[in-house]
């Protein structure tokens, strides 16, 4: 394909993308195909001779499209949103154009420097403490800074690696153990999570080879200071070495917020690395009214949120900041002659390969730069506030209906609810068994999705089955939430009548 053919086909693809978004709400959000459908439709060898663009384009429509789950639909309320936006897509097109592997400054100076600039912009937009910024007020380089990871899971792993480095350094420095003994201590190191922490925490400990301890949350699904203190005391008694704790600002199940300042107290007293996972709800901090909920994050060692969830930036874009990069770069920096470092006099020269697991990295800062410039802070805040308004509207409607129980008060765009036990009781029933209520609510989420007009997922909260509706699609409007409410009410009526 030469440039003139690309020009023609590229315009066709842009048209197809615009058509897709204009008609997205007309199609069911969930793919209606059976496992293995595509294998049956596909040849089982790669083509020997070149095939035409038109044939591939036709296959996109007839073979791929039926198997797509439309995450960008306004009627998609599953998991957490994964926002796309046209500005982000335009930025990513430039990233594809350059296709640089920007692992250090020399690889592509603009790639490194734009990342430093936009991560400072974004940090300021969230109101993060200046410890997390790369460039200090006097224009010199600080020890902290931001980096774009591919995912919150990677941020978790990288934070734990830095934490391990810091802990080993402390153990060696106190002189009570030899170098060899301190290496053996890796297996005694414990990372702390709550029973609501995202699975990436546990995965991270599996990868780095340390112990993990899961602490039960309180009745509001929060990790508390007292529970953390108890767990640490027990582990220290058992000869283990606490080194890392994750606090979550907006958990996956319920968007609950851990005791962020209380955990900071414990982390400081016990020399733990304090990582805050705000993968979903971190975007809310662009709006100053949410910042009181996050008091204490200024005391964290690392903080992470995903603009690719709720801040209009196509996957993948996970923003991570560290207050001090020394342990991170000590843990991840490896020297080879073919990977020259360029450490200049200026404040902008970071070797981001030392801040992440892979060597190669995409020019992801471009899409974030496009989003921040083309929406502006005001546009980003309007996006967040509108979804929160819609979520609170839905919560109110469900409460007014009388058949639903809201599992946790709505703070962001997530509404977690169930059909309440009394709505499932037949006349004369004293109390409906919890197992019956759970079974009815599992059926309820299946029934909602079987309707086909909307999509969401169920969850289990301390043994109680519930339904999650995550509002936050870029193109989602009030009409989409009204449709959701209509389906929720109709499906609830069906489940209740089946029960009786």
- Pairing label, strands 273-277, 241-248: parallel
Minimum distance of ligand PLP from residue 224's CB (angstroms): 18
Nearer to ligand PLP, 152 or 407 (CB): 152
Q: What is the DSSP letter of 222?
A: -
Query: Cα(325)–Cα(352) distance, rounded to whole angstroms?
Result: 11
Q: Are 254 and 470 in contact (CB under 8 A)?
A: no
Nearer to ligand PLP, 81 or 262 (CB): 81
Q: Are 166 and 327 in contact (CB under 8 A)?
A: yes
What tokens does 315 get? 């996957």
Radius of gyration of the chain (CA): 25
Minimum distance of ligand PLP from residue 331's CB (angstroms): 19
Minimum distance of ligand PLP from residue 80's CB (angstroms): 5
Minimum distance of ligand PLP from residue 326's CB (angstroms): 25
Minimum distance of ligand PLP from residue 156's CB (angstroms): 7
Instruction: Collect all residues with Cβ–Cβ distance below 8 Å to 129 and sequence separation of at least 6.
Output: 297, 298, 323
Minimum distance of ligand PLP from residue 251's CB (angstroms): 6
Query: Cα(450)–Cα(434) distance, rounded to whole angstroms?
Result: 24
Minimum distance of ligand PLP from residue 254's CB (angstroms): 10
What is the spatial order of strands in the sheet that 211-215 belongs to?
145-149, 318-322, 302-305, 273-277, 241-248, 189-194, 211-215
Minimum distance of ligand PLP from residue 464's CB (angstroms): 19
Q: Are 42 and 5 in contact (CB under 8 A)?
A: no
For residue 404, report the phi and psi dihedrals to the nearest 5 degrees.
-115, 155
Minimum distance of ligand PLP from residue 250's CB (angstroms): 6
Nearer to ligand PLP, 257 or 437 (CB): 257
- Residues making contact with ligand PLP (CB under 6 A): 79-80, 151-153, 198, 200, 248, 251-252, 277, 279-280, 306, 318
Query: Cα(272)–Cα(261) distance, rounded to whole angstroms?
Result: 14
Q: Are 154 and 277 in contact (CB under 8 A)?
A: no
Q: Are 76 and 472 in contact (CB under 8 A)?
A: no
Q: Which residues of 326-359 are buried (b: 16+ CB within 10 A; e: fewer)?
A: ebbbebbeeeeeebeeeeeeebbbbbbbbbbeee
* First-last CA distance in the chain: 64
What tokens does 136 get? 């200090």
Nearer to ligand PLP, 29 or 142 (CB): 29
Nearer to ligand PLP, 142 or 476 (CB): 476
What tokens does 344 get? 């200049």
Nearer to ligand PLP, 85 or 200 (CB): 200
Nearer to ligand PLP, 259 or 351 (CB): 259
Outline where 353-413 has alpha helix (H): 365-401
**Closest Cα partner for 407 from 448, 454, 468, 483?**
468
Minimum distance of ligand PLP from residue 14's CB (angstroms): 28
Nearer to ligand PLP, 182 or 306 (CB): 306
Nearer to ligand PLP, 308 or 418 (CB): 308
Nearer to ligand PLP, 284 or 443 (CB): 284
Q: How many residues does the chain have?
A: 500
């Amino acid at each position: 394909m030469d440039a003139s053919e690309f020009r023609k086909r590229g315009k066709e693809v842009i048209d197809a993308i615009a058509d897709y978004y204009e008609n997205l709400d007309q199609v069911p959000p969930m793919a209606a195909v059976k496992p293995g459908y595509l294998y049956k439709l596909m040849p089982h060898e790669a083509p020997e001779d070149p095939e035409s663009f038109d044939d591939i384009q036709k296959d996109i429509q007839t073979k791929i499209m039926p198997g797509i789950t439309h995450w960008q639909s306004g009627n998609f309320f599953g998991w957490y949103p994964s926002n796309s936006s046209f500005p982000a897509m335009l930025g990513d097109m430039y990233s594809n154009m350059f296709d640089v592997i920007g692992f250090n400054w020399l690889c592509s100076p603009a790639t490194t420097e734009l990342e430093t600039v936009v991560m400072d912009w974004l940090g300021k937009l969230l109101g993060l403490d200046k410890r997390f910024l790369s460039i200090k007020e006097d224009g010199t380089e600080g020890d902290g800074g931001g980096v774009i990871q591919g995912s919150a899971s990677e941020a978790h792993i990288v934070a734990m690696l830095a934490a391990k480095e810091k802990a080993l350094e402390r153990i060696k420095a106190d002189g009570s153990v030899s170098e060899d003994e301190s290496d053996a201590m890796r297996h005694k190191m414990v990372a702390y999570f709550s029973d609501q922490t995202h699975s990436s925490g546990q995965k991270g400990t599996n990868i780095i080879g340390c112990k993990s301890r899961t602490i039960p949350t309180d009745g509001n699904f929060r990790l508390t200071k007292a529970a953390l203190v108890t767990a640490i005391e027990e582990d220290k008694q058992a000869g283990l070495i606490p080194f890392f704790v994750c606090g979550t600002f907006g958990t996956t199940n319920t968007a609950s917020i851990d005791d962020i300042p209380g955990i900071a107290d414990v982390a400081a007293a016990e020399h733990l690395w304090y990582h805050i996972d705000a993968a979903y709800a971190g975007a809310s901090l662009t709006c100053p009214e949410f910042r009181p909920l996050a008091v204490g994050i200024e005391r964290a060692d690392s903080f992470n949120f995903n603009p690719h969830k709720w801040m209009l930036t196509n996957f993948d874009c996970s923003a991570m900041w560290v207050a001090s990069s020394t342990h991170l770069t000590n843990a991840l920096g490896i020297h080879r002659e073919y990977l020259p470092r360029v450490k200049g006099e200026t404040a902008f020269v970071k070797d981001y390969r030392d801040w992440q697991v892979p060597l190669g990295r995409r020019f992801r800062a471009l899409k974030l730069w496009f989003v921040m410039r083309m929406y502006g802070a005001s546009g980003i805040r309007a996006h967040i506030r509108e979804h929160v308004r819609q979520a609170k509207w839905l919560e109110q409607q469900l409460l007014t209906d009388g058949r639903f129980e809201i599992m946790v008060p709505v703070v962001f765009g997530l509404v977690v609810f169930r059909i309440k036990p009394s709505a499932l009781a037949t006349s004369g029933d004293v109390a409906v068994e919890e197992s019956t209520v759970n079974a009815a609510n599992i059926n309820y989420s299946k029934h909602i999705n079987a309707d086909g007009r909307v999509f969401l997922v169920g969850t289990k909260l301390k043994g109680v089955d519930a339904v999650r509706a995550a509002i936050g699609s870029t193109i989602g409007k009030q009409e989409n939430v009204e449709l959701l409410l209509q389906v929720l009410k109709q499906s609830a009526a069906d489940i209740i009548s089946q029960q009786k």
